Amino acid sequence: METIVNKDTERWDLVIEGRSSLFDLKFREVWHYRDLLMMFVKRDFVSFYKQTILGPLWFFIQPLFTTIIFTFVFGNLARLSTDGLPQPLFYLAGITAWNYFADCITKTSTVFKDNANIFGKVYFPRLIMPLSIVTSNLVRFGVQMLLFLGVMGYFAATGADFRITSAILLFPLLVLMMALLGLGLGLIITAMTTKYRDLSFLVSFGVQLLMYMTTVIYPLSAAPDKYRRLIELNPMTGMIEAFRHAFLGKGEFSAWSLGYSALVTLIIMVLGVVIFNKTEKNFVDTV
């Protein structure tokens, strides 16, 4: 009798079970480990520029050079339209936003593989790792935004034709959406790669191909009608267009397309977290 009473009153801090609900996402635990998230972000930065000469300057170099190349190839050789905007500004806007999304996706897509060692030895909410990646990318994105603003300032001083619109108020939402979409896709891919390594090959050039399906190097207005639907189907298109509209005043910005992007982002994000959580429990055995 006593044991039965005992059992009822016993309170466990932690119950580990073989099968748990698909939607038991343990967000409270993630919150408890927030210090760890910051620690990982810090680690990423410190290890990024340790033993380099230029250090954090590398954050500028990549978008800057990409812009120069794009201006040369797509602007001067291919003469693609830039909606009447100065070419470097147009490309830099696209690259800055796209890079953030692309980094989120590629870096989170290898989270299980890269951290198999540490995941195999110690427990912490696995979601901390991809979240820390997105956060440290956010800092990098912030730095690159400074570059973008600087270039904007330069072109403003030379009297180029662009204007900041009120859509800039949506900027935080845009960043969040890009982060979540990248994160969601990355989570799905990383969960799948634990079993099927093939996907990891797909990611690196898949992201690159996706860029050409997004309005990074051309404006949506210049897209041929045949492919317009397809390009609009890409949730990143709405965001990049909105981003350009906000900062440069050009681009097809509509609540409808942004709403569509938000919906897709939400679906992919939820799907990603659920799949990730399911994989997380046993991935150590298959990776």
Partner 1 sequence: MTVAIKVENLSKVYQIGQIGTGTISRDIERWWITKVMGKDDPFLKLGETNDRTIKRKSNVVWSLKDINFEIQQGDAVGIIGRNGAGKTTLLKLLSRVTSPTIGTIKIKGRVASLLEVGTGFHPELTGRENIYLNGSILGMRKKEIDRKLDEIVDFSGVERYIDTPVKRYSVGMSVRLAFAVAAHLESEILIVDEVLAVGDAEFQKKCLGKMEEVGKQEGRTVLFVSHNMSAVRNLCNTGVLIANGEIRYSGSTETAIVEYLHSNSQNNLDFPIELGNIKIDKFEYKQVGLDHLLCFDFIVLKQVPREHYVKLSIKSAHDEIIFENSQRLDTSLPNRCISLQYESDLAFLRNGDYKIYLTVFEHGMRWLLRDEFLLEITKYIPRDGSVDHFGIVTPMGAWSSQIHSSLQAT
| Interacting residues with partner 1 between 166 and 195 (CB under 8 A) | 195
Quote the CA–CA distance of 47 and 135 in Å, as a whole number: 15
By the 8 A CB rule, do 96 and 144 touch? Answer: yes
CB of 185 to partner 1, least distance (A): 20
Judged by CB under 8 A, how many residues of this single chain contact partner 1?
35
Binding mask 243-282 for partner 1 (x = CB under 8 A): --------------------------------------xx
Residue 118 sits in the site that holds partner 1 (CB under 8 A): yes
Q: Which is nearer to partner 1, 11 or 28 (CB)?
A: 11
Q: Which of 10, 169, 205, 256 binds partner 1 (CB under 8 A)?
A: 10
Q: Which of 30, 36, 199, 266 binds partner 1 (CB under 8 A)?
A: 36
Backbone angles phi, psi at 16, to 5 degrees: -100, 125
- Region of 247 (left: φ > 0; alpha: ψ -120 to 50; beta: rest) is alpha
Contacts for 72-79 with beta carbons within 8 Å, 24 or more apart? 74/217, 74/218
CB of 183 to partner 1, least distance (A): 21
Q: Which stretch binds partner 1 (CB under 8 A): 55-63, 102-110, 114-122, 231-239?
A: 114-122
CB of 175 to partner 1, least distance (A): 26
Q: Which is nearer to partner 1, 228 or 281 (CB)?
A: 281
Binding mask 14-33 for partner 1 (x = CB under 8 A): xxxxx-------------xx
Residue 54 sits in the site that holds partner 1 (CB under 8 A): no
CB of 193 to partner 1, least distance (A): 13
Residue 43 sits in the site that holds partner 1 (CB under 8 A): yes
The half-sphere exposure of 240 on its side-chain side, counting CA atoms within 13 A, is: 31
- Nearest-5° Cα angle at 259, 82 to 30: 110
Q: Which of 2, 4, 23, 35 binds partner 1 (CB under 8 A)?
A: 35
Give the helix ranges, DSSP H, for 109-234: 111-114, 116-119, 128-157, 171-193, 198-212, 225-233
Residue 39 sits in the site that holds partner 1 (CB under 8 A): yes
- Nearest-5° Cα angle at 185, 182 to 189: 130
What's the longest Cα–Cα distance across the chain? 87
